[in-house]
């Protein structure tokens, strides 16, 4: 009788267990069933979001339309290229050095110029001036002072560079200065600094060929200030930041690789709608841009020392020191700069006190290199830059 009762109890228990409602009991699953008492291994999960990073800066929408556009940035690179060529025409290396014209330089700067070699630049609504230092009128005025001073000077002779009596070379101050105050500043402090607040679900205007979202477009514009080549560094390594990042800086700092990869990775994440991955790429680009500007400043300080050691003319030494000066000036224009404007201007004031004398004092240059290297984390590379 006892055995029979035990058997019946077991049957009841088994019956009750088998009557438990089956389903997915994992709260993390898409088909989680709050009423399920027994997991039947039917849980379904989303695949982890993913995207592939292309080897070139090429992105299409689902219909195969190109979503990359940075024509405005290409126009500004072209403007600075033409302005730089015009400034260099006053150097004594030319058979007949040109006399520069102030209004011409100023009109190139604000694009009221009507004689661009590239006619597409005429009246296109783009300019360098209003993109300088986020519209800082004091910085814009400094560039205009340099332009007017260059135009007021007599053409250089005998293979020399056009320079102020102090030794400052205006062409270098303007070209390298705008590379930072305009290009690096727009890239790091304008477009990338606020990229997370941009809209990224709707194309701006497909009917007008604008197949990109606001976030995609702003990311592309930032890229365009670094290089306007989608296959960089195969192309686009011949001018401005694309050029410098791919030379000495690539060997020692990996600048070209790091910046271009971060741009392509961030853009792929944006295109896939995985914007949580974007801030990390922004941080890489901004940090590498800071290292890039400071690295070039140190590079040209080292070059200045070498030219002195080689017994080069003071005019040649001034040329390299002017490049260093312009890149030091540019440190303040990167997002979250390693040195404040006050600190940068203090260093430049030390040079301005006796520009040519400073270039001949190796101790002064070494102290300046050390100051820059410590502030920007380039102590290990300072001697090789």
What are 318-374's pLDDT values in tens digits? 999 999 999 999 999 999 999 999 999 999 999 999 999 999 999 999 999 999 999
Q: At what angle do helices 278-309 and 255-271 cross, to 10 degrees?
A: 160
Q: Based on the number of CB atoms within 10 Å of its own CB, is 125 exposed (0-12), middle (13-18) or buried (19 or more)? A: exposed
Does residue 293 contact residue 325 with C-beta atoms inside 8 Å?
no
- CA pair distance 114, 275, nearest whole angstrom: 42
Q: Is the pLDDT of residue 2 over 80?
A: no
Enumerate helices (H) and strands (E) in the chain, giving the number of each: 15, 2
Q: Is the pLDDT of residue 5 over 80?
A: no
What are 72-95's pLDDT values in tens digits? 999 999 999 999 999 999 999 898
- CA pair distance 322, 286, nearest whole angstrom: 25
Q: Which of 293, 385, 282 is nearest to 339 (CA)?
A: 293
Q: What is the pTM of this model?
A: 0.88
**Cβ neighbours of residue 153 under 8 Å, at least 6 residues apart?**
90, 100, 162, 164, 170
Who has greater pLDDT, 39 or 363? 363
What are 272-331's pLDDT values in tens digits? 999 999 999 999 999 999 999 999 999 999 999 999 999 999 999 999 999 999 999 999
Q: Is the pLDDT of residue 8 over 50?
A: no
**Cβ neighbours of residue 229 under 8 Å, at least 6 residues apart?**
57, 235, 236, 237, 242
Amino acid 29: pLDDT:
82
Q: Is the pLDDT of residue 151 over 70?
A: yes
What are 196-240's pLDDT values in tens digits? 999 999 999 999 999 999 999 999 999 999 999 999 999 999 999
pLDDT band at 45 (very low <50, low <70, confident <90, very high): confident
Q: Is the pLDDT of residue 264 over 70?
A: yes
Q: At what angle do helices 314-330 and 170-178 cross, to 10 degrees?
A: 30
- CA pair distance 300, 302, nearest whole angstrom: 5
């Amino acid at each position: 009788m006892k055995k029979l009762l035990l058997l019946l109890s077991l049957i009841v228990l088994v019956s009750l267990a088998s009557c438990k409602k089956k389903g997915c009991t994992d709260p993390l699953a898409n088909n989680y069933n709050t009423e399920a008492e027994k997991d039947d291994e039917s849980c379904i999960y989303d695949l982890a979001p993913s995207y592939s990073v292309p080897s070139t800066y090429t992105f299409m929408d689902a219909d195969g339309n190109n979503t990359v556009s940075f024509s405005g940035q290409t126009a500004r690179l072209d403007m600075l290229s033409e302005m730089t060529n015009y400034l260099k025409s006053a150097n004594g290396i030319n058979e007949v050095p040109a006399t520069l014209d102030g209004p011409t330089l100023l009109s190139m700067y604000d694009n009221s110029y009507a004689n661009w070699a590239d006619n597409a630049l005429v009246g296109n609504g783009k300019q360098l001036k209003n993109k300088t230092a986020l519209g800082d009128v004091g910085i814009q005025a400094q560039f205009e002072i340099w332009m007017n001073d260059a135009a007021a000077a007599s053409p250089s002779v005998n293979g020399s560079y056009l320079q102020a009596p102090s030794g400052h070379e205006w062409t270098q101050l303007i070209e390298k200065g705008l590379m930072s105050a305009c290009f690096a500043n727009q890239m790091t402090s304008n477009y990338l600094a606020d990229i997370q607040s941009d809209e990224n679900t709707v194309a701006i205007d497909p009917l007008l060929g604008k197949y990109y979202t606001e976030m995609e477009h702003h990311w592309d514009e930032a890229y365009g200030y670094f290089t306007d080549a989608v296959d960089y560094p195969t192309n686009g390594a011949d001018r401005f930041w694309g050029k410098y990042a791919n030379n000495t800086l690539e060997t020692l700092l990996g600048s070209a690789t790091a910046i271009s990869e971060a741009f392509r990775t961030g853009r792929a994440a944006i295109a896939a709608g995985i914007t949580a991955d974007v801030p990390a790429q922004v941080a890489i680009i901004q940090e590498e841009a800071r290292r890039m500007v400071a690295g070039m400043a140190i590079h040209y300080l080292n070059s200045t020392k070498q030219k002195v050691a080689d017994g080069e003319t003071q005019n040649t030494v001034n040329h390299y020191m002017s490049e260093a000066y312009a890149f030091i000036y540019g440190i303040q224009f990167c997002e979250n700069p390693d040195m404040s404007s006050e600190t940068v201007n203090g260093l430049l004031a030390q040079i301005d006190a006796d520009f040519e004398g400073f270039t001949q004092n190796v101790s002064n240059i070494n102290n300046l290199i050390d100051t820059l290297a410590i502030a920007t984390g380039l102590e290990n590379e300072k001697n090789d830059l």
